[in-house]
Amino acid sequence: MNLEILKIASDTTNFKKLNKYTHSAKYKNSMCGDEITVKININNKIIDKIGYEGNFCVYCQASAETLARIFTKKEKNFIVSSLKSLIEIDNFKSLEKNKNFGKVFNTKNIKRKKCIYLPVNALIKALKINI
């Protein structure tokens, strides 16, 4: 296992239940049973808070924490375009060069791609993004 993934996953800053939120979604990986609930509070087109909870593996945890850290305090349009890029690129070799996503979306972790994309798909569902 990649030690960088463990380091990222051990930061549970955003692993929390949000009581006040404007958007939410639950997403499940039918392959392994991982599931995540994402709640987002948007205020004046800015993501004020992102919280997630559920039962998932360390790869999903690292992905969810990475996305929450990157997207908190950003404009919704930035998040929408970033999520679309993640889906459209869908190439870990290209993404691993990205300073924000590269530690998780990395070819070393390609076998756990579905786990890593679970929070991405939950955010897309919560924000009702058409891709």
Q: Over 70: is that where the pLDDT of 90 sits?
A: no
Q: Over 90: is that where the pLDDT of 48 sits?
A: yes
pLDDT winner (highest mean) among 2-11, 44-53, 102-111: 44-53
Give the pLDDT mean for 97-109.
Answer: 85
Q: Over 90: is that where the pLDDT of 105 sits?
A: no
The model's confidence at residue 23, banded by pLDDT at 50, 70 and 90, is very high
Give the pLDDT mean for 36-40.
Answer: 97
Q: What's the confidence (pLDDT) of residue 49? A: 96
Give the pLDDT mean for 111-120.
Answer: 92
Q: What's the confidence (pLDDT) of residue 1? A: 66
CA–CA gap between residue 56 and residue 112 (Å, rounded): 12
Asked if residues 106 and 91 have their Cβ atoms less than 8 Å apart, the reply is: no
